[in-house]
Structure 1
Amino acid sequence: MFRKILIANRGEIALRVIRACREMGIRSVIAHSEADRDSLPVQMADERICIGPGASGKSYLNIPNIISAAIISNAEAIHPGYGFLSENTSFAQICQDVNITFIGPSAEVMSVMGDKVSARQAMIEAGLPTLPGTPVLRTLEEAKAAAAEIGFPLMLKAVAGGGGRGIRLINAPEEFERTFTVAQNEVREAFNDDGIYLERYVAKARHVEIQVLVDNYGHGVHLGERNCSCQRRNQKVLEESPTPILPRELCNEMGERAVRAVQKVGYRNAGTLEFLVDEKNRYYFMEMNTRLQVEHPVTELVTSLDLVKEQLRIAYGEHLQLRQEDIKLRGHAIECRITAEDADKDFRPQTGVIEKYLPPGGPGVRVDSHLYAGYEIPPHYDSLLAKLVVWAETRDEAIARMQRALEEYVIEGITTTIPFHQRLLKHEGFISGDTYTRFIQEESAALGIK
């Protein structure tokens, strides 16, 4: 096994990887910014190297500094976490060029599956259904022509990146020009790639994703599915596994087809295929995340597996010891993303110092967080503070447990989304399991969003 790995990330995911390394006897090196000098991952890693100032572009996106940190520390591998450079093909290729293992797929496969348009084409060739869509569009004129062919309403999406950026619903032709221009400017600034594509819109779509693991020898399994339909501005706020309402047979079929598809393109390590499921339970491949997902804990709780450890074993070259018949989903898990935002003020981002911190506990409760009393929230990064995850034998019990855990959770000094999640967990639509991608937006009044 690796003797030492470098973690090119921050916050709760960096801490998550450090803990897995420690249990496996692997030394961890954290590459951190000046703004994160006092963070919990920096305190808990075996070694630490500062790679630049607070701004992401000068630190967590600074490839030369991160590679230098890995070489100086004699790290054999780099775990990119999620976000930042986790789906950057150039970074994966440079790691390969300097003989450092990138814990993820190869640069060649990432270049195919990380680009949403080429991923769609690859999955069509692998036999997965997709919604009618376009090739990469870079001018307003060609986009207008493509939109007229697909028809309205339609979805506009960025070819590169993630996190909901560049995604827009366009209901009518008169909205198109302005929306296209704004979205293209947004993704050009965020991802240095102004590629856009269009896709037919599915009303009341459920967002369902399949977690896969594939070793370097082509053996793969899926670990069930996650329902990620509770979203705000195309950003997930709550995830659960297994998905309610959908037939078990349908989810199993999606999983089996997902594994065959990624095997066909030569995918390796952990990955997630995202699908839209319409009201008639027809499913369509949307995109693939070639990395660990933020919501991976719900899969861990219903399968009793450690996805980070599996990532490390696969990256080292070990054979995947799991067979599909070994994967049994037990119980129900729910994850709430606790962020530094004020839902009563249109989710305005918050910064400040954590004056008091008391995480919930008890049976079936897990908190993935880098917070502690006295920690100052830096202004440079994503607003995620913690992932509150619960497990119980049934979905009803899991909802009750999450409600109890949210009541116990104390974070003072800044405003968080804990009150919003408390309202969401009590909403009849959520309790029934009948959520879809625009559920929060359409129920904003009932959820107290202003």
Structure 2
Amino acid sequence: MSSGGCSSDAPGGGGDSSSSSSPAPSPARAADKEKQREKARVSRTSLILWHAHQNDVAAVRKLLEEDRSLVHARDYDNRTPLHVASLHGWIDVARCLIDHGADVNAQDRWKNTPLADAEGAKKYNMVELLKSYGGLSYGQNGSHFEPKPVPPPLPNKCDWEIDPSELDFSNSHIIGKGSFGEILRACWRGTPVAVKRILPSLSDDRLVIQDFRHEVNLLVKLRHPNIVQFLGAVTERKPLMLITEYLRGGDLHQYLKEKGSLSPSTAINFALDMARGMAYLHNEPNVIIHRDLKPRNVLLVNSSADHLKVGDFGLSKLIRVQNSHDVYKMTGETGSYRYMAPEVFKHRKYDKKVDVFSFAMILYEMLEGDPPMSNYEPYEAAKYVAEGNRPIFRSKGYIQDLRDLTEQCWAADMNKRPSFLEILKRLEKIKETLHSDHHWSLFNA
């Protein structure tokens, strides 16, 4: 078969059968043939984009086998079939296109890559697939749906960039440790602060840097009395550091370990503070799901334990909600097993109600004095809960309204769990009833 023939270019497929002595085609006829070729090319481009949109992997494969160059087809917005598949989360179509040589970092007219589209559409399985093939998140993060361009997450110079020479570690001590690094108490311009410092060995790890930048970008936007206040970050030098206010009271985990069960009055006040912070985070349309709400990530403002603040947003996710019933495809065992919602443990779709479940487990622990499922190892506890079991109420004088609220918050069906705004209303009512009662001996029995 001749590689130089042109018979396959025309839509009808038949070549010119005239002999070599035939006169050369007229300019008009040549122009007509070029138009037909262009029409055929446009038609095939439309077809592959359409089949990619329809999740028809067989049709996409057939077109690519006929003409491999179609993998680079572009529409009027410079979007490739891989952009289309990524936006809709069609994994099989994307794999087929990548196998045929699709450019995972092609950019459309908004400068979005397929990965940026997948992130913008919250197609998390697609995000993982594209990253595994070297996909990068250029552009506006799928923001061609947005009327305004989204600014880059971290400008080079910003008012919160802290010069590391301003941080005084001379009297510092470690207040927390993790796989990423450590949290230290230090001083910044004479003020005690908490510094999350990334291990130098991880400072070049792409995923660690990505998570660090994500947390910084999230914290910059948060302003609430019950959320740990972000003060600044070191992003231009190593080690990378994130600086927040220092809360003298330590974390709720340590407090409960020392105090045991709390009085209903204290437990309700603590629960109100947590619920206020979480109601702020869950505010639509920009919902922040904490995904790791547990006593270690709830901090006491001072040693008098007057107030609580929610902290540690390393695992949080900012979700743009189109409507209040959106469910996000964010699967995987994210967070701490003992406080983990069953849908997360089972790798199911989940939404912001995972935080409500974790809140219920903390409320139980404050009232009972023991962590939920304390006789189980954390993983076994999560497995036991995922099978439909729940912690047992043992304390005497348990307030029925609080027990009812806790049980609703850890409902197996996430749609039956109340929102934090509803939880706030319920807690306020229980608090009013408590104050009008004054039968404290009943609760301390």
Q: Give the TM-score normalised by the residue count of structure 2.
A: 0.30
The structure with more helix, counted as a fraction of residues: 2
Give TM-score scaled by structure 1 length: 0.30
Q: Which has the higher contact order (CA 8 A, sep 6+)?
A: 1
More strand by share: 1
